[in-house]
Amino acid sequence: MDLSGSSVLITGGASGIGAALARRVAEKGARVGLIDRDAAGLARTAEALAGAETAVADLRDREGIAAAVDELAGRLGGLDVAVANAGIATGGPLRLVGPDSVEDTVEINLLGNWRTARAAIPHVLARRGYILIVASAAALAPTPGLGAYAASKAGVEALGRVLRAELAPHGVAVGVAYYLFLDTPMVSGGEQMAAFRELKGGLPGPIGRTYPLEPAIEATVAGIERRARIVAYPRFVRPMLRVRGLLDSRLGDLAARSAVRQMETTFSQEAERVGPDVAARVPDRRDL
C-alpha cells in the first residue's frame, strides 16, 4: 500500500501511539483523520499535521463514535486505512479492584474498538483497504495485576482475527498489533502506581523493559504498507505468538505467584487511601 495520497483514520490520536503514528503517516503523504475524547490533546496533535481532520468522541458512546467516523470519512473523501488504537489501562488484583474499573476497561478497549471497526468497515470496504486493530502482548501472556487489561486485549485480538477472516473475501485486509511496554503517557502514568511498578519490575528480563516508541511506530507503518496480518514490537513478540501455549502453563503460573502477595498488599494500601477504582486506574498525562 502506498500511503501517499491515502486517507488514514486513527483513534486515540491525542497522544502516545496514535499521535506518533499520525505524524509518521502524514510524513508519508497520507491525509489523517483523528478521533479522541481529549479535545485539547487532539488539537495539539493536529496542529502540526497539514490537512489533518479531527473529531472528538468517546468510545463508550456508540452513536458518537459512528458519527465521528462517518464525518471524518466524508471530510477525507473515504478511508483507505482505519487504525483502532484508543484504549486505557488499569491495574490491580481482580479480587480487589473496583468493578467499575474492570468494566470500563472492557467497555473502552474491547467494545470501543469494535464500535470503531464497525463504523469504519463500510468506508474501508469501498476502497478494499486495511484495518489495524491494536491489541497487546498482554493478550499472549496474561499477567497478574493486569487482569482487566489482558482480558480486554485478548478480546481485541480475537475481534481482529475474526474480522480478518470475514473481510478477506471482500478485499479488505485486517491486521492485529501486539506491543510490549512502550514509552507512552499510558506507561509513564502506570509508573506512578506502586503496584504497577512492582509487577513490571518483577517481569523477566526484556519483557519488563520500556521500549522507545519510534521503532514501534516504524514497524507499524511498515505493517500498514504491507497490509500485514501481524504487527509486533519488539521483534521477539512475534515468536511469542508461536509459543503462546508454553506461556500459559503451570510453570508460568508458578513464576508469577511469588509477586502476587506483595502486589496485593501494595494495592490494598493504595485502595484504602483513594478507593479501589481510583487505585486501579492508570493516570494519563492530564492527571500528572
Interval 150-196: pLDDT, tens: 999 999 999 999 999 999 999 999 999 999 999 998 888 877 777 77
Q: Name 20's bridge partners.
A: none
Edge-to-edge strands of the sheet including 230-233? 53-56, 31-36, 7-11, 81-84, 130-134, 173-179, 230-233
Average pLDDT over residues 236-256: 69
Residue 254 has pLDDT above 70, yes or no: no
**Whole-number average pLDDT of the chain:** 90
SS3 152: helix
What pLDDT score does 251 carry?
Answer: 46
Q: What are residue 55's phi and psi, to 5 degrees?
A: -150, 135
Q: Which of 130, 149, 179, 233 does the annotation list as catalytic?
A: 149
Average pLDDT over residues 212-229: 98
**Lowest-confidence range among 72-86, 188-202, 222-236?**
188-202
Q: What is the CATH number of domain 7-235+246-287?
A: 3.40.50.720
Rg (the chain; Cα; Å): 18
What pLDDT score does 204 carry?
Answer: 79
* DSSP E strands, the chain: 7-11, 31-36, 53-56, 81-84, 130-134, 173-179, 230-233
The share of the chain scoring above pLDDT 90, in percent, equals: 69
Residue 252 has pLDDT above 70, yes or no: no
Active site residue 149: yes
